[in-house]
Chains A and B, each alone.
Chain A
Amino acid sequence: MNTCVIALGSAHGDDALAWHIADRLNDNDTLTGTTRVIKTDRIGPEWLDYWAHADRVIVVDAVHTGAAPGNILRCRLWPDPEGTLDAQQITLSSHDLSLAEVLDLAIALEQAPSELLLFGIEADGCRPGDHLSAPVRAVLPLFMDILRAALGCHTTSQPPLNTDLETIDQ
C-alpha cells in the first residue's frame, strides 16, 4: 500500500509537532519505499499532487478539540460514512482552501485517496517562538509508535485503528 504522510504545521509551539514527527520519520526510521513524507505549512490544491500515487493518506497535525493537551486523536476523514466532514460548512481558511474543500475537490475530480486519516495531538499552545509544550513532548514517543505501526515500519502493541474517531488518553 502506498502511503503519503502529510505533516501540516509551522515552526511555532505545538503547531510544530507535525514537522518534528516528519523529521523523525525521515531521519530515524526505515520507511518502506511505498511511504512518502511531506512537510507543509498549508492546505491547498497541491495536495492532490502530493497524494496522486497514494492509496492512503495520513495527515499529521496539531489539533484543538477541547481535550487535555497531549491527547492523541485518530480520525478517519475519508471514506466518511457519517458525513461529518462537510466542505460547505468549513469554508474558513486563511490560504486557498480548507482540508474539507480540498477533499471535496479531489472527490469531484475522482482523485481522492482510498483512505484519508488524521493523526493529531491536542496542542497546548502555538505562540511564535515557543517550543513544543511538555504534554506534547511527553506523548511523542507513543505517537511515533502508533504512526510507525500504521506505516508498517515498526511493530508495537498499539491497538488497530478500528473506529472512525478514537482518542487515546494519557
Chain B
Amino acid sequence: MSEQRIQVPVLARVEGEGALDILWRDGAIEQLQLRIYEPPRLFEKLLEGRDCREVADAVARICGICPVAYQMSALHALEAIVGCTPGPWVRAMRRLFYCGEWIESHALHIHLLALPDFLGFHNAAEMARTHADAVRRGLRLQALGNDLIRLLGGRSVHPVGACIGGFARAPTHAEAAALVPRLASACDEAIDLAHWCATLDMPAVAQDFTSVALQHPDEYAMNAGRIVSDRGLDIAAEAYETHFAEQQVAHSTALHSLLDGAPYLVGPLARLNLNRAQLHPAARALVDTCGIAWPSRNPFHSLFARAVEIVHALHEAADILRAYREPMRASAEWTPRAGSACWATEAPRGLLWHRYTLDDNGLVQAARIIPPTSQNQARIEADLRQTVQALGSAISTDTLRRRCETVVRNYDPCISCATHFLRVTVRGVP
C-alpha cells in the first residue's frame, strides 16, 4: 500500500484563511478537502433587528476587497421590499461603482496573487524584481479602481456613500471629469495586460463544469438580470433557493453550494462563457482574437477573463463619466414597509445572492447572504480532484502541492466572505 499526504496548512495569496489536505492512497484520491477554518462571522444574525438603513454599511464590512458587491445586492433587495425605484442616474452610478470594484479586485488578483504562479515566482515581490513594469501597472489599475469607488463611496474600503434609493452625495462634475483621462490612459494598459495574459503558458486542461451567471438583455450583467447557466437554467433571483442548495461540510466553516446537487462555476470565466457577446467592443475584440475557443472549459482562462473584464469596466466607466451630469437628487425617496425580497448581482468573484425580510418599521427580521466563494467551493474541490488525478503520483509532492495551490488561487477565493454563517444543530435538548 502506498500513501502520500499533501498538506498546505496555510494557503498563501488568497483573501482569508484556508488550508488544503489531500490523501492519496494506492493511485487514487482517498480524501481531498479545501478546509476553511476562518471563524464564522455570523453576519446574517448580526443584521437581525437592525434598521434597514444600516444594512449597506454593515454588509460592506464583510469584505475589504468587494464591499460594493455586498452593498449592491443588499440595496436592490431592500429597494424591492420598500418599493423604491431609483432612476437612470442612480442606475448608471451603480454600474460605475461596480466597475471600480471589478477593476481594483481583478487587478489585485492578477498581479499580486495569480501571476506569480504562472510566471514561476513565489510571490509578487519576487516577480517585481524582473517584471517591475507589470507590477506597477497592476498597482496603478488597482488604485484607479479604488478611486472610482471613492468617488461614490467616500472611501475605497468599506465605502459609506451608497444608500437605499441611491447615494448620499453626487460627485461634482469636476470630480467626475478628473477621472476620465486616467481611465482613457488605463484602457490601453489593460488591453496590453489582456494580451499578455492570453499568451501565458497555462496548463492545458479541459473540465466539464456548469457556468452560472446573471444575464441581462441589454448589458453585460452587473446589478440586474436573470440567473442563467450554460445547461438551460434561466430563473429569476426569487427562484434561487429552488435550484441551489447550501450544505454544511465538516471540514469547512463555509457552506458548500450546489446547483441541482452538483458543483458549478461562478465568476469572470462563467460570465465570459455566458455573456461575452455583451462586452464593450474593445473587450469583445480581445475575446474574439485571443485564440481561446469559447465557451472555455479551462478554469485557468479565468485569469484572461479578469483582464478582459478590466478592459470592459474601464471603457464603461469612461463612457459613464464622459456623459456625467450632476443630478437634482442623488437618491430617490422611500418609506419603510414590511416584506421580503431577494436580489443577485455579479461580484468580482461571481454571483452574490441576498434575501431580506423587513417588518413595518423597516427592521430586519431575517437575512441570508450567499457569496460567490461558497458557491465555487465545491467546484474548486472538483477541479482539484481532476487535477490531482490527471497528474498522478509520478510527480513530486512539492510540484503537486504547488499546482494545487495554483488551482485554488485561480478561483480568487475570498474566504472571509464565505464564512458568514455556521449552522448549529443542537441534539438531545429536553
Give the interface of A toward B (CB within 8 A): 41-42, 45-46, 48-49, 87-88, 91-92, 94-97, 101, 104-105, 107-110
Contact = CB atoms under 8 A, between A and B. Distances in A.
A105 B135 contact: yes
Cβ-closest 6 pairs across A and B? A108-B128, A104-B125, A105-B125, A108-B129, A91-B12, A108-B125
16 contacts: A41-B157, A42-B64, A45-B139, A48-B139, A87-B125, A91-B12, A92-B10, A94-B17, A94-B416, A97-B112, A97-B124, A101-B124, A105-B135, A108-B125, A109-B128, A109-B135
Contacts of B65: 95-96
Contacts of A49: 143
Interface in B46-105: 64-65
B7 interface: no
DSSP class of A's interface residues: helix, strand, loop or mixed? Answer: loop
A108 B139 contact: no
B126 interface: yes
A88 B65 CA distance: 23
B307 to A, nearest CB: 18
A105 B121 CA distance: 13
Given A91-B12, A94-B416, A45 B123 contact: no
A95 B15 contact: yes
Contacts of B136: 109
Contacts of A45: 108, 112, 139, 142
B12 A94 contact: no
A108 B143 contact: no
B406 interface: no
A109 B132 contact: yes
A105 B124 CA distance: 7
Interface in B108-140: 108, 112, 122-126, 128-129, 132, 135-136, 139
Interface of B: 10, 12, 15-17, 38, 64-65, 108, 112, 122-126, 128-129, 132, 135-136, 139, 142-143, 146, 157, 416
Contacts of B126: 108
Contacts of A104: 123, 125
Contact of A108 (B38, B132, B416): B132
Contact of B128 (A88, A91, A105): A105
A153 to B, nearest CB: 27
A95 B12 CA distance: 11
Contacts of A110: 132
Which of A42, A87, A101, A108: most chain B Cβ within 10 A?
Answer: A108
A5 B132 CA distance: 26
Contact of A95 (B64, B128, B139): B64
Given A45-B112, A101-B125, 16 more contacts: A41-B157, A45-B108, A45-B142, A46-B142, A46-B143, A49-B143, A91-B10, A94-B38, A96-B64, A101-B123, A104-B125, A105-B124, A107-B125, A108-B126, A108-B135, A110-B132
A46 to B, nearest CB: 7
B190 to A, nearest CB: 18
Nearest to B11: A91
A105 B139 CA distance: 11
Contacts of A48: 139
Nearest to A45: B139
A143 B131 CA distance: 41
Contacts of A88: 122-123
A15 to B, nearest CB: 15
A87 B10 contact: no
Nearest to B38: A94
Contacts of B142: 45-46
A94 B12 CA distance: 10
A87 B157 CA distance: 24
A94 B15 CA distance: 6
Contacts of A109: 128, 132, 135-136
A95 B65 CA distance: 8
Contacts of A94: 15-17, 38, 416
Nearest to A41: B157
Nearest to B140: A49
B104 to A, nearest CB: 10
Contacts of B112: 45, 96-97
A159 to B, nearest CB: 34
Nearest to A105: B125
A104 B157 CA distance: 23
A77 B136 CA distance: 23
Contacts of A92: 10
Nearest to B123: A101
B179 to A, nearest CB: 16
A91 B8 CA distance: 13
B146 A46 contact: yes
A42 B157 contact: yes
B417 to A, nearest CB: 12
A41 B156 CA distance: 12
Contacts of B64: 42, 95-96
A11 B50 CA distance: 20
A104 B122 CA distance: 13
B202 to A, nearest CB: 24
